[in-house]
Amino acid sequence: MGIYEGAVQTLKDAISETASFWDSVKLTPKEDVYVLLSKFQREFGDLKGTLSSLESALERNADDPWLINDLATEYADQGVRLERAVSLIDRALKYQPENPLFLDTKGWVLFKLGRREDAKATLERCLELFPDYQDAREHFQAVSGA
């Protein structure tokens, strides 16, 4: 068993622990374990599992703008559920309207939806706030056709 498979199995085992276990741990919220699991699943190429883990994390903490952003980003990267991704990232932006990472996600989602001009404007705003953000620069280049 490789390192990622072992990590994935260990995290799945931890998640399946009883509620009383999680109540007693208090150090790591279960949704954080789901996020970590999603990162390993992505590395391992389990994209469906990645989405499932992020969705489970968000079910546990529906108001966490970072979880919302992570799931919206994953939908955009996989090119699935893009309308839901827009809805999610708009929700995250209500919490932090000037967060450049969230603006980058929104721009990328809009681009994936074919809304190039909206995407470009959103990514321009992102880069105004955080000019050195490399992911946003790459997304802006893709949107601009450069």
How does pLDDT run across 55-83, given as a tens digit for each residue? 998 998 999 999 999 999 999 999 999 99
pLDDT in tens, 82-130: 999 999 999 999 999 999 999 999 999 999 999 999 999 999 999 999 9
The DSSP secondary-structure symbol of 11 reads H
Q: Do 24 and 84 lie in a common domain?
A: no
Distance between CA 77 and CA 143 in Å, rounded? 14
pLDDT classification of 12: cutoffs 50, 70, 90: low
Q: Do 87 and 56 lie in a common domain?
A: no
Q: What residue numbers bound the domain in which 18 lies?
A: 1-62
Q: Do 49 and 117 lie in a common domain?
A: no
Q: Do 10 and 51 lie in a common domain?
A: yes
Q: Do 54 and 94 lie in a common domain?
A: no
The crossing angle, in degrees rounded to 10, of helices 116-129 and 100-112 is 160
**What is the per-residue pLDDT for 21?**
47
Q: Do 77 and 145 lie in a common domain?
A: yes
At 131 the three-state DSSP class reads coil
**What is the per-residue pLDDT for 22?**
43
**What is the per-residue pLDDT for 1?**
53
**What is the per-residue pLDDT for 138?**
96
Distance between CA 101 and CA 129 in Å, rounded? 10
Give the mean pLDDT of 125-139. Answer: 96
Query: Of 18, 36, 62, which one is at a domain's C-terminal end?
Result: 62
Least confident of 5-9, 10-14, 26-30: 26-30
Least confident of 30-34, 40-44, 85-89: 30-34
The CATH code of the domain that includes 82 is 1.25.40.10
